[in-house]
Structure 1
């Protein structure tokens, strides 16, 4: 014959199984509050805070009156203190047993502490037949509560405490590692701007998380030539950041090709990216080379958003995609397009975090607003233009940032 389990173990086992099932199949759920009706809110708050060591979580006024929420140190459940009107049904509940029980790991220590603070106990701690210890106490309005402890409960409390401490330590280490990753990734962005006569340029990347998948860079190609690069890695967070670092390393390792054969550079980077990443990983990418003495721009757009070329006479040219994205296909090909730059012309490269920022009405910032902002601030230096556009984005989208925001502005000022 199978030995029956203790009666106390079955309910606990059911709770554990139910908790696991709920966490995976159902929305999060826990007891929010229990009402305690009192005559004097100020006196009651003083009792729960000063004598029991609770904290005040909320204090508000509603149609039914004032409502003050207090909670024990672990904040597991809230007591809602309410002062009902005289002659109301709830007023009659003041001074009655609340059927609310508090569990403690050391009932004798808690009893002595609360007793020293003036808490009135109608029953001191007493051992019970079920193996636990039980006490009763009252608040200033004679509302009765239970104080409970048992060895099994104490073990559960200690296990919960360890789990909470381990979770807090894990969160601390994760935050620390993310901060280190953020600092490392920040060093991957340009630390200095190569000087190119007649070109005023700047770039910025504001990540939505600690780390992200947007990338921009400036390459000194010699002979007054500058490479301007911007990319957007598929995905977000740490995975995208690792892919971004992979792409940056590939580009830097193949840097020599950029001097004379940028087309071969992109083919080589595509092959490396394809071989070293998952099948679904890719990057949209825009590579441009500016030749200062010739005032010439050559570019290849690898599936990226169309760059904006705002001419000095206020006409607009969009530099659309010339080839597919990098890393998705083994073989890549895309033509290089050339265009002439003139004094007063302005080039803007950006990622979708700029145009797809949205406001509370879920309206996107969009390409048109970006172009209008470039036109409005075109007389400003490149760095100032970036700052003004970022500020406009933050005013437009007051909600949490959902995607990395990366932007490059380059102004041709040569004679």
Structure 2
């Protein structure tokens, strides 16, 4: 046979094979063009005809006939035509038989796929109905057990350092109960994509499906039985993927419920705290000759143990209290009310003896309830006749005295004179006297005032307090205190979680 003739046969054969392969590919993957025909108007349509596959198959049969015709060269024309037509007919018959076989296989595969997809959709819908993690674990294991027809399904979930058995459909306590993350099975499952499964042999066919809501492996199903077909494996993968989503939603729901419960508890405690704070007696505001004074405090969303008090005393004197108890909330509010009651009752009896007033109050506190931390307090008694302030500073912030002189303003501090209350210290308790001169400004304040922070973490500080009082020293005491607290509030950008602030101001006139 001439070489040119051989190349021609090879080309026609290759072209025929290409057409036949395209026809099979289009039919299996359903990429071809299909048409529908009706016998008459109004009749139901018959099954669609795969047009592109039919044309390609016909072209392949014609090309095969051409090849067979050329292969019969040397025979008579009639024999060559019979050989070409018979070969083409045989190819067409084989094509129809293969078509029917492929069609039957594809239909069976499609039916199985549709069945398992429906099963997976129903099972996933049932899993999504549960919002609690234990119920999700049970529902997902039962879905695998019923869908794959096995009673041996175990779910392992990550618990700190290991994967521990979270549910077992068999109800038996058996080994292994946990897997280490570095064990071969978890390491293999960690490399799988969501929805993929791993089939292996370990005393029988087994299937493992990873449970992962993100990149990290959260757990896995271990199913004994099988063997499992590809649609069944996909079913198990979908159940595992839906379980991961459902467990993530259940975990988020549980955290939100905890936050809501904690928020409700905080709201109730805040309401109870505010009701307890209402039992604090408002400061007395008697008229004191030669003295302009004011007191004010600010409380945020977390009331602490700071409070102030002014007490009208005999002979026109004025008692001053600025206390700082440890803690927050209802307990601190109750202890504040108790401390105020004790101090007010003793001021009338021991106004002339502040050390005994402090010690008597401390003894009463120790007798009434166990000590819960040091109590820092500033006590003072102002005598208008001598314009003398006798004070006792038991660990409180040092009050500031601003005094105008010939060389300008001087800033003096009133340092601590005694240890804090309930501190267990044996140091003696002392008092000190301060004579106020006309124009003096004395401010007693708690730590929350000067330690109020802005968004950048900068404290308001004593420097700003001094500047504020010097800038507005001509104002009334009440206005000066209000302006100071407002300035601090603006510094904190109205942050309600800031510590409580309290301030007492004495202005000698």
Contact 1:258 1:265 in 2 (8 A): yes
Are residues 1:296 and 2:296 paired? no
Q: Which structure is larger by alpha-carbon Rg, 1 or 2?
A: 2
Contact 1:309 1:345 in 2 (8 A): yes
Per mean C-alpha deviation after superposition, the further-off stretch among 328-337 and 292-301 is 328-337
Q: Which residue does the alignment assign to 1:410?
A: 506
Aligned residues, how many?
A: 291
For normalisation by structure 1, the TM-score amounts to 0.58
Decide which of 187, 201, 216 is 2:308's aligned counterpart. Answer: 216
| CA apart distance, 1:300 | 0.8
Distance of 2:499 and 2:265 partners within structure 1? 24
Distance of 2:428 and 2:360 partners within structure 1? 11
Q: Within 5 Å, which residues of 2 pair with 1:329-340?
A: 329=424, 331=426, 333-340=428-435
Gap regions ≥5 residues in structure 2 = 1-149, 167-212, 214-231
Q: Rate the CA distance shift 1:321–1:308 in 2: closer, same or farther, 3 A.
A: same
Are residues 1:324 and 2:419 paired? yes
Q: Rate the CA distance shift 1:164–1:394 in 2: closer, same or farther, 3 A.
A: closer
Q: Rate the CA distance shift 1:191–1:335 in 2: closer, same or farther, 3 A.
A: closer
Contact 2:276 2:334 in 1 (8 A): no
Q: Within 5 Å, which residues of 2 pair with 1:148-297?
A: 168=260, 171-172=263-264, 174-188=266-280, 190=282, 192-276=284-368, 278=370, 281-297=373-389
SS of 1:232's equivalent?
Answer: strand
SS of 1:315's equivalent?
Answer: strand
Distance of 1:386 and 1:331 partners within structure 2? 36
Decide which of 148, 153, 159 is 1:7's aligned counterpart. Answer: 153
Q: Which residue does the alignment assign to 1:355?
A: 450
Structure with greater strand share of residues? 1
Distance of 1:17 and 1:341 partners within structure 2? 77
Q: Which residue does the alignment assign to 1:308?
A: 400
Q: Within 5 Å, which residues of 2 pair with 1:98-113?
A: none
Q: Which residue does the alignment assign to 1:343?
A: 438
In angstroms, what is the RMSD of aligned CA positions? 4.0
Structure 1: 4+ residue segments shifted above 6 A: 12-18, 128-132, 146-149, 156-167
| CA apart distance, 1:320 | 1.0
Q: Rate the CA distance shift 1:197–1:130 in 2: closer, same or farther, 3 A.
A: farther
Structure with greater helix share of residues? 2
Contact 2:302 2:499 in 1 (8 A): no
| CA apart distance, 1:408 | 0.9
| CA apart distance, 1:275 | 4.5
| CA apart distance, 1:163 | 9.0
Contact 2:351 2:357 in 1 (8 A): no
Q: Which residue does the alignment assign to 1:59?
A: none
Distance of 2:151 and 2:503 partners within structure 1? 66
Distance of 2:475 and 2:467 partners within structure 1? 14
Contact 2:158 2:164 in 1 (8 A): yes
For normalisation by structure 2, the TM-score amounts to 0.49
Contact 1:221 1:258 in 2 (8 A): no
